[in-house]
Amino acid sequence: MKFFNLVFILFFITLTGCSQKNGNYMNYNKLTKEEENVIIYKGTERPFTGKYFKHFEKGIYLCKRCGSALYNSSDKFESDCGWPSFDDEIDGAVKQIPDSDGHRIEIICNNCGAHLGHVFKGERFTQKNTRHCVNSISLEFVPAGSNFEVKTDTAIFAGGCFWGVEYFFQKEVGVLTTEVGYIGGHSQNPTYKEVCNNNTGHAEAMRVIFDPSKTNFEKLAKLFFETHDPTQLNRQGPDIGNQYRSEIFYTNLQQKEVAEKLIEILIQKGFNVATKLSYATKFWKAEDYHQQYYENKGSKPYCHSYVKRF
């Protein structure tokens, strides 16, 4: 009897642990076997058979599994490939990962990991030169004019090595997705090598997409100031150079005002703040191996730590 109880407890812990890791699995929509074959087991529906292949009504396409908004109808186009095609996604909604076949790039829902399809580039179907080839069975559609609204906001922070900046935001309440990249420079499509050689003027930065109903820019900006040293000029710990500068790239005047207020509070507390404020320009996503670096490596930052300042 004791053995049975132990087995049951271990099974329960494993089950609940998996539920938490996968984003509250118990709240996902119930799937048919056909839907599971594609969404969970990464199958592919037959071409030219999906209900959204020839579908061009105005609205929003959602993840069939969790209901997250993925694509706007304005980004859908006809490619005659046999599956729905989009040349862009809603910010932070879709994640690209290497396919198990070693050749293609798989696209999954960034919220629940549901398999959507694959992304192809360089085909010149549209000006964006990108095609998200998506299984209809992975999608649900909400017509324009319904009560469904996509409400997200964006913040961009630079505070030293972008690996460390991103580390503290990934599990913050209200944060939907994070990605690291380059901003504030003068060249197009900068590479990590170019930025490190201080040839482009870009800062290593992190862009965060967040849910305004669960957090706000001020909370995230406070976290930014408390997870790096804002008094250091053009460096962070052992990392030295203009690309490691402390800078907030605000997307609107309200963000600028909030940042100015927080900097003034820190100055009144005796901090010689070096953080710059600049209007956000083009954000260039960094190479894939930089994304979620510490999470993938299973380690912690070497030059960033949390220090209470507010």
In this prediction, residue 216 carries a pLDDT of 95
In this prediction, residue 176 carries a pLDDT of 80
d(C-alpha 182, C-alpha 202), whole Å? 6
161 classed as catalytic: yes
**Any idea which residue has 């703040």 for tokens?**
273
List the catalytic residue out of 63, 66, 161, 303: 161
In this prediction, residue 204 carries a pLDDT of 97
Q: 143, 176, 205 — which closes off a domain?
A: 143
pLDDT tens for 95-123 read 999 998 889 999 999 889 999 999 999 99
Shared-domain flag, residues 293 and 173: yes
Profile the chain (310 residues) by mean pLDDT over runs of 10 residues. Answer: 40 37 56 96 96 92 91 92 94 88 93 94 93 97 78 91 93 86 94 91 94 91 97 94 96 95 98 97 92 86 91
Reported as type and span, the H/E element at residue 177 is strand 175-183
- Model-level pTM greater than 0.85? no
Q: What is the CATH number of the domain that holds 71?
A: 2.170.150.20
Shared-domain flag, residues 195 and 276: yes
| Domain contains 21 | no
Number of structural domains the chain divides into: 2
In this prediction, residue 301 carries a pLDDT of 87
In this prediction, residue 84 carries a pLDDT of 97
Which range of residues forms the domain containing residue 95?
A: 28-143
Residue 48: which residues within 8 A CB-CB, separation 6 or more?
82
Shared-domain flag, residues 125 and 174: no
Shared-domain flag, residues 134 and 174: no
Shared-domain flag, residues 165 and 293: yes
133 classed as catalytic: yes
In this prediction, residue 19 carries a pLDDT of 37
pLDDT tens for 55-71 read 999 999 999 998 888 99
Q: 143, 164, 186 — which closes off a domain?
A: 143
Shared-domain flag, residues 235 and 264: yes
| Domain contains 11 | no
Q: 122, 143, 164 — which closes off a domain?
A: 143
Shared-domain flag, residues 203 and 291: yes
Q: Which residues of 260-292 are buried (b: 16+ CB within 10 A; e: fewer)?
A: eebbeebeeeebebbbbeeebeebbebeeebbb
List the catalytic residue out of 112, 133, 196, 303: 133
In this prediction, residue 16 carries a pLDDT of 37
Residue 139: which residues within 8 A CB-CB, separation 6 or more?
52, 61, 62, 63, 64, 70, 71, 84, 116
| Domain contains 55 | yes
In this prediction, residue 27 carries a pLDDT of 62
In this prediction, residue 91 carries a pLDDT of 77
